[in-house]
Amino acid sequence: MGKTLKFLSLFMVALVLVFGTGGEVDAKKKKKKIKLTEEEIEMLDRWEVKPKKRAKAVKDLRKKPKFVGAVKCNGSCHDPYYQAWTKSPHGGTYELLKAGVRKEAKVRAKLDPEKDYTTTPLCLRCHTTGYKQRGGFKPAGSKSKKGKDTATKIDPTEPNKEQVGCEMCHSVAGGSQFRAVMKSSKGDFTKADTEKYGQRWDYANVCTRCHTHPKTPFQPTVHDKYKFNFEERKLKVHKIADFWSEDNADQKVEKKEERAKEQGQSEKTPLVIEDFEEKGGKLKFKKGTKPYNSKKKTYNYKG
Ligand code: HEC
Ligand code: HEC
Ligand code: HEC
């Protein structure tokens, strides 16, 4: 009997230690409020975000950046851009890694035309979205530490992370954060607003993440057609003209003209371009060449 009592009281003490006394925990929880920085308050005021929505908006903005995929840009915000992209050269880059596709070009670049390159790290870096970065594309055979299949699902009817998506040209380390800016501000943001959260405006520079990059097998020395003229090429990136309709007319990027007068930080000093190599079957970014430092939360500009 005495033994049972002793045991019971020990058990109660343990319970209190583990769970605390209910009332106190609740009180603490209620008091836990997010403290906004002056910068955040200024932005939320300017974007006219309602008080009720502020906590959620700030929570989203403070998360780590990650890749979300082109599909997230479609379906109410940038539909014509998405539709045009699926039919553009960048909406079909994954297919090029399959065996037997573009044989002639592969032979010319000293690649094996019969090999399947859809799991080759070096190729995935330039032919998919966010490979080896948070939220990015994971090829077939990818597994978590516990052995769970983590490969990105591919839906041939809905191009997404397996191609060179929006985020490879418009973001530094994925578009989740600036997507939150765009939504909270209902499109009424400045270049600086989204840039703070990882959007980039250094368009001519961003192409060299892949085109004419030292690691691409398709160098201008291999064939003249790989020479890169930005002004000419950019006309082929977004052929949106044919994709406007009554249903999406409200998605016109209204602030575009105004924003064009602004100059983003990345336009003044473009971001560094990643260098990388394959080591032991893995893609490794070279130190000092990553445009975003996730520990310090700072951007790495050229010069
Ligand atoms: C550094 C980035 C980069 C890497 C790495 C890379 N590619 Fe590409 N790839 C490109 C770019 C950019 C183009 C488009 C070049 C152009 O048309 O000017 C391209 C084009 C291609 C083409 C089409 C060429 C044509 O003329 O039709 C094939 C096929 C291809 N890549 C396969 C591969 C394979 C396989 C690998 C891995 C062994 C690979 N790429 C690695 C950037 C890269
Ligand atoms: C290959 C690179 C590339 C990809 C991929 C890409 N874009 Fe773009 N995007 C650009 C460039 C370059 C411009 C600027 C065009 C110009 O100045 O004429 C641009 C402009 C835009 C604009 C107008 C922005 C403004 O305010 O000026 C929007 C909106 C846009 N892109 C959305 C998207 C969406 C959505 C996707 C994916 C479905 C996407 N882009 C994929 C390169 C890209
Ligand atoms: C993440 C890598 C990557 C980035 C960044 C990138 N491209 Fe590409 N681009 C490719 C690949 C891969 C192809 C090959 C597509 C094909 O041949 O079907 C390609 C093909 C193209 C083509 C078609 C070439 C042709 O004539 O068939 C154009 C145009 C182009 N890119 C323009 C741009 C511009 C402009 C930018 C920068 C705003 C850019 N690209 C940024 C990977 C990239």
pLDDT of 237 reads 97
pLDDT above 90 covers a percentage of the chain that reads: 85
What counts of helices (H) and strands (E) characterise the chain? 14, 4
CATH 3.40.47.10 fits 36-245+277-285, yes or no: no
17 pLDDT band, cuts 50/70/90, is: low
User: Which residue type occupies 218?
Assistant: F
- Residue 22 in this model has a pLDDT that exceeds 50: no
Long-range contacts of 7-11 (CB under 8 A, 24+ apart): none
Given this model, what pLDDT does residue 24 score? Answer: 53
Evaluate whether 184 touches 174 at the Cβ level (below 8 Å): no
Lowest mean pLDDT among 18-22, 198-202, 256-260: 18-22
Q: What is the mean pLDDT of the chain?
A: 92
Residues 94 and 128: beta-carbon distance below 8 Å: yes
Kindly indicate the confidence band of residue 29, based on its pLDDT and cuts at 50, 70 and 90.
low
Specify the residue with its C-alpha closest to ligand 2, atom 6. Answer: 166
* Angstrom distance (rounded) from CA 7 to CA 5: 5
Q: Which ligand is nearest to the CA of 208?
A: 3
pLDDT for 28 beyond 70: no
Nearest to 91 by CA among 264, 226, 243, 282: 243
pLDDT category at 13 given cuts 50, 70, 90 is: low
Q: What is the pLDDT of residues 137-156, one digit of tens each?
A: 999 999 999 999 999 999 99
CA nearest ligand 3 atom 18, residue:
89
Pick the residue whose CA is nearest to atom 34 on ligand 1.
123
Note the ligand closest to the C-alpha atom of 228. 1
Q: How far is ligand 1, taken at its centre, from the CA of residue 227, in Å?
A: 13
| Most confident stretch, 19-33, 155-169, 237-251 | 155-169
Question: Which amino acids bring their CB within 6 angstroms of ligand 2?
Answer: 70, 73, 78, 81-82, 85, 90, 164-166, 168-170, 203, 234, 237-238, 253, 256, 259
Backbone angles phi, psi at 150, to 5 degrees: -115, 10
Counting ligand 1 atoms within 8 A of each CB, the residue from 88, 93, 94, 96 with the most, and so the one to mutate, is 96
Tell how far the Cα of 118 is from the centroid of ligand 2, in angstroms: 26
- Is the whole model's pTM more than 0.85, yes or no? yes
Q: Helices 38-46 & 51-62, crossing angle to 10 degrees?
A: 120
In the chain, where the domains are located: 36-245+277-285
Flag whether pLDDT at 121 surpasses 50: yes
- Is residue 12's pLDDT more than 90? no
What residue ranges line ligand 3, CB within 6 angstroms?
A: 89-90, 92-93, 96, 126-127, 164, 168-169, 203, 206-207, 209-211, 230, 233-234, 236-237
Q: Which atom belonging to ligand 1 lies closest to the Cα atom of 213?
A: 1
pLDDT tens-place string over residues 247-273: 999 898 888 889 999 999 999 999 999
Shortest-distance Cα residue to atom 30 of ligand 1: 96
Alpha carbon of 286 to ligand 2 centroid (Å): 27
**pLDDT attached to residue 33:** 78
Residue 241's pLDDT band (cuts 50, 70, 90): very high
Give residue 236 CA to ligand 3 midpoint distance, Å.
Answer: 9
